Amino acid sequence: MERLHKEYPEDVVIAFRNFPLGFHDQAVPAAKAAFAAHQQGKFWEYHNKLFEKVDSLSASVFDAVAKELALDMTKFQQDRTSKRAEERIAEDKFIAQHLEVNGTPGYLINGRLFFGALPYETIKESVDIQIQAVTEEMRTSKEPVHQARFVITESNFIRSTEGLSYVPVGDAPSIGSEDALVTLAVFSDFQ
C-alpha cells in the first residue's frame, strides 16, 4: 500500500479496515494494539512494524513496538483495552461480512471487490481504470469529485445483502487525499 500511496498521493485514499480471522489467535489483540497506536497518530508506522514481526506477535511485541514508536504507554494501554477498540473492530467486521469478504486481504476499490494477496500490477490496473472512469464522469457530468466517485462506485456495484458498495473512510486509519478519485478499503488482519 505504501508504493500505491507514493505513486498516487492525490488520486487514491487508502483506508485500513480490520478483519481479524478467527483462526489467527493474535489477530484481535493486534487489531486492538493498532487501534491504540492510531489514537496517537501512529497507525501506519505501527502497522508496518507488526507486519515485520508477523511470526512473533504477542502482548510483549505489541508493547515493544509501542515503546519503539515512543507512544504514551499509559494511553496506549487504555486505548488498547477500551470498549471503543472492540467497537471499531466489530464495525469493520460487520462491513466486511456484508460485503461478503471471505478472507484477507480483501480490497474494495471504488465498489469493486478483490480477494487475496494480489500483485501490485493488478491493483494498479484497477486503480488506473477507476481514475479514468471518475475523471470521465467528472468531465461529462460536471459533478465534483465526491459525486463522480459515488456514481462510478454505484456503477461498479458489488453484491451485498445490504446493498453496500461504498465504504466511507470515516475515522479509519487512512492515507491519501479526501478528494481522491479512488477509495481503496483494505480488509486485513495482522497475521
CATH superfamily, region 2-188:
Glutaredoxin (3.40.30.10)
The pLDDT of residue 150 is 73
Please compute the mean of the pLDDT values over residues 136-155 and round it to a whole number: 78
Q: What's this model's pTM, rounded to 2 decimal places?
A: 0.85
Q: Are 36 and 85 in contact (CB under 8 A)?
A: yes
* Res. 159 pLDDT band, cuts 50 70 90: very low
CA distances from 109 to 32, 42, 98, 166, 174 (A): 25, 24, 16, 9, 14
Q: Where are the beta strands (DSSP E) in 49-161?
A: 106-109, 112-115
pLDDT greater at residue 12 or residue 191: 12
* Grid cell at residue 56: 512473533
Q: What ranges do the domains of the chain cover? A: 2-188
Please compute the mean of the pLDDT values over residues 169-189 and round it to a whole number: 89
